[in-house]
Each structure stands twice: as C-alpha cells, then as structure tokens.
Amino acid sequence: MTLRLSVPGNILLAGEYAVLEEGGMGAALAIEPRLTITATSAERWSIEGRLGDATELWKQGEKPTFAATILQFLLDRFGAVNPARLVIDSAAFFDGGRKRGFGSSAALAAGLTAMTAALRRNVERLAGSLAVAAVDAHRHAQAGRGSGYDVMASWYGRYGLFTGGAVPSWQRLDASRLPALAVFQGPASVDTTSSIALYEQWKAAHDSTDWFIAENNAAVGELASASGEGWFFAAEKARDLGVIMGRAIGRPAELPRPAELPAHVFVKALGAGNEAGLAASTSPVTVPGVTPLVVAEGLRWE
C-alpha cells in the first residue's frame, strides 16, 4: 500500500496577531511550492523528513520530533491507525538552510492529519472535522499557540477569509480580485512562536485590545471585498496597523525595500515580524530577488 498527497504553502496577507483572537479576521493565501507526504505500509511508525539540505529521522519509541509530536496527537484523537513509514519532503520550503516563510509546519500538520485519517480508513466519517483537527494538532505541537490561519489556508487552498477562535473558520474569496503578488526575503528569520509570546505579554499589560481587533477586522473586511485600487487602499491600512502593533510588542514589521523595486509597488511585511515581504502591483513584478507568487489549490491526493 502506498498513499501520497501534497499540501501548498501559505501566507497571511493581513491580520497579523488579530487572527489569534476569538473573531479576529485575516486574509490568507495558499501558494506554491508544495510539501509532499508519502506513506507505505510498515510494522511500526517511522518518519523521514527532508528539510532543505537536512534530513530528520524518527522511529516509534524514540524522542519525538516536531512531526512525530503532531502524529502522536492525531493517533490519540483518531484511535488505532495502521502504522506506516512516512516520507515528508518540504525541501522546497527552504532556501539553503533558511526557511522561506511559507508555513511549512502548518502544511505539515494539514498533510499529516489527512494522511493519518486515510490510513485509519474512515476519512468520510471524519471529513467534516479534519481541518479543525489539523489546527488542533498544529497548536499542540506549538505548546498551544497558533491561530490556525496557515493550516486552513494550506488545507482549503487559494484565497480566503479566516476568522480566529477556539474553532476557527474559513471562507473562500475570489482570487481574481488580487493584484500581481510577489515575495522577497526580509533581514532575518523570525520565530513565530516567540512573536506570539511577545503579543501575549503586550495584551496582558493592557486592559482592552478591542480597539485593535475592531481596526483590524475593518481593514481585513475591506480587503476581502476589494479589487483594483481599492485593494491597495485597504492593504495600506492593514500594513500600518501591523507596523503599529510590531512596534508596540517589540517585533518590528518594517523591512528594507529592495533597491530595484519600482516606487509604485506596494510593500508590506508578511506574518509575525519582517521575515518576508510582500510586493503588490497592478502588473507582474520582475526584479531580481523578488519572486512572483503562484496561487495554489489546497491539499490533494496524488
């Protein structure tokens, strides 16, 4: 028996930190490249992970890796599952030894959830809750942290409106409304978990963050329904709010603008910090170091 699936990467266009809150909204996108998982029958569980230039090996009974932690959570939730040898290839999510910031761990959680359910052979019964189970598994592996926007973007694919909470939701948006999008690397890698911890510390020090959620949801709601010039106006509001929050928590959301990027191209940081930048324009951007984005379909069996 051999099963194989692939899961796209993801980015958060707007909604940084607000997506962590109940009712906090974000606009997210599934993008190429894709992570693949291949399962073959085995007597015991094992995982071979291909992470850029590195390879990570795990066998049942050993100290769990990140992937094995997700797998064990899923086994506990789903019950007895036929064991398998899993080969996970996420090399395309790395540039040498550095992550590209395309949500590889969320894609991993989505893929492992679908694969584990398929190996248990009751996917139809579980189908309605699988995306949420993938979010729960990802949160578990990150010590309870994480909104789930990235898992759902990779699961459902293309462009969507995410609403955060204990049980998050995803609403498909029209990707044809988007301008030409591209990404570029920021100054350095940013650890998302530590960024979330900084936000939580800031939140604990304030009586109310309702103003932040309200401002964010207004900007994201506008972005979700906008097209043409209206999209750029809404994106600018979201960017400015992200900069304000980044300064407040001590995790800057400003980033250097690529020197060759034309002045008319809109730029904003992506995600929790300035690990990666988004470039948006009415026409495709062809500048060295700036990579055009390809909108991707969601999780699929191959």
Could you read off the pLDDT of 92-129 as tens digits, one per residue? 888 776 777 788 999 999 999 999 999 987 554 545 57
Q: CATH: 1.10.10.10, 3.30.230.10, 3.90.420.10, 3.40.50.800. Which one for 2-173? A: 3.30.230.10
- Token couple for 285: 């951007």
Which pLDDT belongs to residue 50? 86
- Token couple for 98: 């550095």
Which pLDDT belongs to residue 145? 82
- Is the Cβ–Cβ distance between 3 and 301 less than 8 Å? yes
Task: Give the architecture-level CATH label for domain 177-292.
Answer: 2-Layer Sandwich (3.30)
Strands 84-89, 46-51: pairing kind: parallel
- Is the Cβ–Cβ distance between 215 and 283 less than 8 Å? no
> Which ranges of the chain have pLDDT less than 70?
97, 122-128
Which pLDDT belongs to residue 201? 94
Domain ranges of the chain: 2-173, 177-292
Return phi, psi of residue 177, to 5°.
-80, -15
H or E segment and range at residue 37: strand 25-41
Establish how many alpha carbons lie within 13 A of residue 265's alpha carbon, considering only the half-sphere containing its beta carbon.
24
Which pLDDT belongs to residue 105? 93
**Same CATH fold, 177-292 and 2-173?**
no
